[in-house]
Each structure stands twice: as structure tokens, then as C-alpha cells.
Structure 1
Amino acid sequence: MDLLTLKAEARKKLAGYCRVCPICNGKSCAGEVPGMGGIGTGSSFAENITALSSVKLNLTAIHDASTPDTATLVFGQYISTPIMAAPMVNSRMNTGGGLTEKELAEAITAGTHQAGSLTWLGDPIDTNYEWFNAMQAAGRGVVIVKPRVNHDHIIEAFVRAEQFGAVAVGIDVDGAGLITMKLRGQAVGPKTKQQIAELAKSTKLPFVVKGIMNVADAVKCAEAGAAGIVISNHGGRVLDYTCGTASVVPGVARELKGRIEIFVDGGVRSGVDALKMLALGADGVLVGRPLIIGAYGGGAAGVRYLFDKYTEELGSGMILTGCNTIKQIDSGILINS
């Protein structure tokens, strides 16, 4: 398998929904929500790419980091790479249904775990729990539920996730105004600090809040009992004119590094992009749109191919910045950090 073949096959199956551009930067699909684009002008999607591109690395080859180890721990789980699969659902609405919800979940989950990583599974509108079945087949995962107004549904999902072997659960608060949810009559909304604390206490698993874009909200989550947060603007799909996620990571890391686990998504297109996010202060990185390309282009094998490619690039980047382990990656490898 090679990248060109993978993309060519995905382009055929995603016709009309994703152009599989040479550079996935949101320019060609701006405003295509539902679909694969960013909302409105598409600037939030584009800012994710721009913010990450502006981060520069300090190349060095005078050191002893010749065989870097990319392994790390996430919620106590050993994984071979800090690059993980972001939660992605509603296949028919956003990608045309070339793969069913079940097929997409199974391809991403299987490919991710074959690569030794961890899948984050989302909450589909139809709530048929095919995502849980995919996780059960793979053995582990992080389940993220939409911030539904009905907390009974959220807690029910947490219970099922516990039964099916999830290693953590959470909500994506950036989905509070999702157009796709509103179109299907699903009530979602923002959460107070007290509500986050109540949800954190409702599960025996580590609780995560995804969709954090400022330090103040990150601190509220930590104080409410969250074990982790994901810095995310929902791929630029919920609010126009936000900043890129890479620009948020350093401030959150300065405040909370070591207190909770800090993850980030948005614009990661290579292992070097992942290296930058880790250097900015993230503990792990989530990848979204590229894995849809992998799944459509080659099923689980296509997803595995991308993970292996990104992890190899991360390892090469660690060699050229003098990092033997993931823990050694910090702002010292950045220029003007």
C-alpha cells in the first residue's frame, strides 16, 4: 500500500463529500457542514493548519538520541504512539455513506489498535451503539458522548462503555451547538462546572472533556474532577473565526501540565505535526480527517498504514530534535518558544 493509491481509492468513494486534496487545509471544502469542511468561511479549520505550521523546530544532530521510543501511557494504558484516532461519527451525513457507521467505526478502531494505539469513539445521532460494538471487538477505547441536555442518556452511555471495556469516557462540549444534531432534533447544549462535576462523579472511569479552547475552561474542568481534556474546536466545524488549537496548548500546559492529561486535535497531518503539539505541551494527539481517508481508501489496513507512517515520522523527528522518549519532548526543541 502507498499513499497515492490510498488517496485515489478514497477519492472515488468520497466523491461529492471530500476532494482528498493534496493538502487537507479546508480551503476547498469551506462551509461544507454537513460534509467534511469547516463551518461558515472555513477559517477555524484553516487556522488549525496555520497555527501548527507557524511552529518551528530546532534541528540538532549532536546528541545520543539515535533510537527513540515513541511509546507512552494514556489513562494507564500502554500505547506504542501518542498519536490516536479522534472520535468521528455520522458517516452517512458527512461522508455520503460509502461506509456505514459500523464499517467506519470498525475500520478505524481495528486499524488504530493494529498500530498499537487507542481509538476515541464518538456518539452518533442514531445512538445505535455500533461504536460500542467496534470498541468491544478491539478491546479498548475512549468513549466521547455529545453534550446532550438529557444527562440520563449520557450516563447510560457511560455505563455501556464501562461494560464494553472503555478505558475512559467523556463529553465533547464543543458539540453544544452542532448543526447536525439540531437537524436531527437532538437536544445538546453547554454544561456548567457543576454539571461537569456531576458527570465526572457518575462514572468509575477517568472522565474527559473535549472541546476546550481556553485556559479558564481547562481549569474549570480540572477543578470539577476531569482526568483529562482535549483542546479542540471540533475540527473548525462548530464556530467560525476561532483560533487554531496549537495556539491554545502552551497556556493550558503552563497551568495544568502534570495535573490532568492534556490532549489536542486539529490540523495534525504528519508525525512532525504531532511532535510539535507534544513540544507545545500536549500529552497526546488526536487525528481525524486523515483517518477517514485511510478507512475509505483501504479499510483497517489503510488506517494502520497512516498510523505507521505518522509514528515513523514522529520517530525521525525525535532523532533530529534530540529526544529519546516522549517525556523528553518539550518546548526546548522549538525555535522562539
Structure 2
Amino acid sequence: MKEVRDKARQLMKGYCRVCPVCNGKACSGEVPGMGGLGTGATFAANLDALAAVRLNMRLVHDVKEPDTTTTVCGIALDMPVLAAPIGGVSFNMGGGVSEEDYAAAVVGGCAERGIIGGTGDGVPPFIIDAGFAAITGAGGRGIPFIKPWDGAELDEKLDRALELGCPAIGMDIDAAGLVTLRKMGRPVGPKTPAELSRIVAKVKAGGMAFILKGIMTTIDASLAVEVGADGIVVSNHGGRVLDHAPGTAEVLPEIADAVKGRIAILADGGVRDGVDVFKMLALGADAVMLGRPFSIAAVGGLKDGVTMLVDTIKGQLVQAMVLTGSANVASIGRHALRM
């Protein structure tokens, strides 16, 4: 992984420094790029909220080989980890690899290790084209995320996604505030419950689950349940859309208390390793998304970098499960945390 990170640092020069600790301090305000919006406070809040979580170490038990497998939104996973949808290699990551190679590395590497990768969307057509091609190349083992476009573009992209044979389609509704889209003059915006209900119905009619990414309040989480979504992602878009928002780990417990069991709960934001994955699960997530670590792995090592990262995260997660006495994913809960 050190070699992968060193290669990524060279290829992403000027866009991401691949810092030893990815905390957003060196790249605050660098949007486009990999930084957080404005002061970078939301990016930092994601890291700070997770760092404040402590684990209860327990070793008087019989858990030696914990089971990391789970199923989320009907998708069987070797561990509760997904690659978050990130696109725009040329203007966010420096263009050291092509959009096609990047998407294929993330989706293909995740599929090879029994998890699943999300693909991004954006103004240039090559972003979504590369994502769709990667999912097709992986036999449908991927989740395309469509931006909350206004007008006909949304339905056109949903129609294309419905032809992929993938298990789920997502919408990163938090992209409604992206500076890059606004600069490119393409209309995106919030969606009403009625609009979301129509989108959910269309996706489900195609036999796929619908995941709504960008939920940060219990109100929106409850509305996601009401419109029929199968899953939500507790996410502030990596701190790239609203400055001074809370970290996702801050709001995850209250959201889980409000909707756990009625909808699948995924979470991202500041997750860097398998211990962070464990923390998010203990706070109430059913599965966890990682963004920047997968981007660095894919740019620095393509598919091999992605599989290496997945193996590393799994090893860290297994260790955390053993050292907390967690036999399986379902057994991970707040009792494992020092609250």
C-alpha cells in the first residue's frame, strides 16, 4: 500500500497530497480537487467525530474467527463495506489515470473481493459512461449513483442505469450543492417527497433497490422511509457541499434510533480504515462507504491497489471484531463503544 500511495501522490499532484493522515487540513477549500468546501470544517468534523469514538476492548470470550459477511439492500457482501461513488478524475484527481480505468479499477476490484463499488455522475458524459461501462464489465456488480438533475437528464440517466442489470441504483441528493456542477451551469437541486416517490417507483419497477445518499437528519431519514427508499447513506458528501455541517458520526446514532430496521442505513465521511468501519457499524450503520481511500488506491494501483485496500480494511475490521468480542456484523453495537 505504501507503493500505491506513493504512486498516487505523484499522479495526483496539485489535487491531492495523499497525506499520511487524510484530515482535510492541507486541502481545505480545494473544490474542485479532493478537499472540503470553504474552511474545510465539515471535512474535519467527519474525522473528529470518528476520532472521538472509543472502543471497549474485550478478550474473555470465544470469538476467534468473526464472520464479516452481511446482506444490505439485497446485496450479499463479504464485509459491510462499499466504495463510495466518486467521479471526475480529470478535474478532481489530476487525470493521472483515465476515467475508464479508474471506474473499472474500483468496480472490478470490489467485485473481485466480494463487496461492491459505487460509480459517479457529472457534467461531462464520460463520467457516467465510464461508470456504466465498469458495471457492465463486472457483470452488473456495481451501484450507479445519479445526481439530482432537473429536467429530462435525470430520467434519461435512470433509463440507462435500469439496463445495467445491477442490484441497486442510488441518488446522491447531497450533490445538489456541488460547486463544480454550479460552475458548469448544469441544474441540480433538492427533490420533494413527491418527486422522490416517482423516482423510487421507477427504479423498483425495474426490479432494483433505491438508495438515497446525503441524509443528515432524522426528518430526511423518515421521509426516505415514507417515499419507499430501500436504503439511505448518512453523508455530507465528504464535506464538499456545506461548510460547518456536523460530522456523520455525530448524527448517525440519532438517525439509527429513528429508522433502524425500517430501511438499510449506510454511512460515510472520514472513514479511513477497518476500525473506522467498526465504529460506524457500532453507531448504527448496516454498512459503510469509503471514498477517498478507494480513490487513492485506484489512482495509485488501479485494480490491484483496490483489492489490496479491501484486504487491508478487512484485516483491520476482523481484528477490531476479535478485540471487542464481536462474533458477526449483527452483533456489533453501541455496547462495544466507550460512550
Q: Spell out, residue by residue over 1:144-184, the C-alpha distance to the aligned partner (whole angstroms, 9 max, x if none).
A: 1101012x322222222221121111211111121111111
Q: How far apart, in 2, do the equivalents of 1:324 and 1:232 lie?
A: 27
Please give the secondary structure, in 1, of the residue aligned with 2:19. coil
Alignment partner, residue 230 of structure 1: 233
- The answer on whether the counterparts of 2:282 and 2:332 sit within 8 Å (CA) in structure 1 is yes
Q: How far apart, in 2, do the equivalents of 1:183 and 1:246 lie?
A: 30
Alignment partner, residue 195 of structure 2: 195
- The answer on whether the counterparts of 2:67 and 2:328 sit within 8 Å (CA) in structure 1 is yes
Please give the secondary structure, in 2, of the residue aligned with 1:191. coil
- The answer on whether the counterparts of 2:176 and 2:190 sit within 8 Å (CA) in structure 1 is yes
Please give the secondary structure, in 2, of the residue aligned with 1:251. helix
Q: How far apart, in 1, do the equivalents of 2:249 and 2:101 lie?
A: 31
Alignment partner, residue 12 of structure 1: 10
**Fraction of identical pairs, as percent:** 45
Alignment partner, residue 336 of structure 2: 333
1:1-337 aligned at under 5 Å gives the runs: 3-128=1-126, 129-139=129-139, 140-150=141-151, 152-204=152-204, 205-336=208-339
- Tell me how far 1:69 sits from its aligned partner: 0.8
- The answer on whether the counterparts of 1:90 and 1:125 sit within 8 Å (CA) in structure 2 is no
Q: How far apart, in 2, do the equivalents of 1:176 and 1:321 lie?
A: 39
Letter in 1 for 2:32: P
Q: How far apart, in 2, do the equivalents of 1:292 and 1:224 lie?
A: 32
Q: How far apart, in 2, do the equivalents of 1:188 and 1:46 lie?
A: 26
Q: How far apart, in 2, do the equivalents of 1:138 and 1:145 lie?
A: 19
Letter in 2 for 1:26: G
User: How big is the alpha-carbon RMSD for the aligned residues of Structure 1 and Structure 2?
Assistant: 1.0
Letter in 2 for 1:126: P
Please give the secondary structure, in 1, of the residue aligned with 2:145. strand
Please give the secondary structure, in 2, of the residue aligned with 1:163. coil
Q: How far apart, in 1, do the equivalents of 2:108 and 2:70 lie?
A: 20
List gaps (5 residues or longer) in structure 1: none
Q: How far apart, in 2, do the equivalents of 1:311 and 1:31 lie?
A: 32
228-237 vs 152-161, which moves further: 152-161
What TM-score comes out, normalization by structure 1 length? 0.97
- The answer on whether the counterparts of 1:155 and 1:202 sit within 8 Å (CA) in structure 2 is no
Letter in 2 for 1:154: L
Q: How far apart, in 2, do the equivalents of 1:32 and 1:124 lie?
A: 18
Letter in 2 for 1:300: K
- Tell me how far 1:143 sits from its aligned partner: 1.5
Alignment length, in residue pairs? 333
- Tell me how far 1:81 sits from its aligned partner: 1.1
Please give the secondary structure, in 2, of the residue aligned with 1:89. coil
Please give the secondary structure, in 2, of the residue aligned with 1:203. helix
Please give the secondary structure, in 2, of the residue aligned with 1:202. helix
What TM-score comes out, normalization by structure 2 length? 0.96
Please give the secondary structure, in 2, of the residue aligned with 1:293. helix
Letter in 2 for 1:191: K
Letter in 1 for 2:173: V
199-208 vs 86-95, which moves further: 199-208
Letter in 2 for 1:130: A
54-63 vs 178-187, which moves further: 178-187
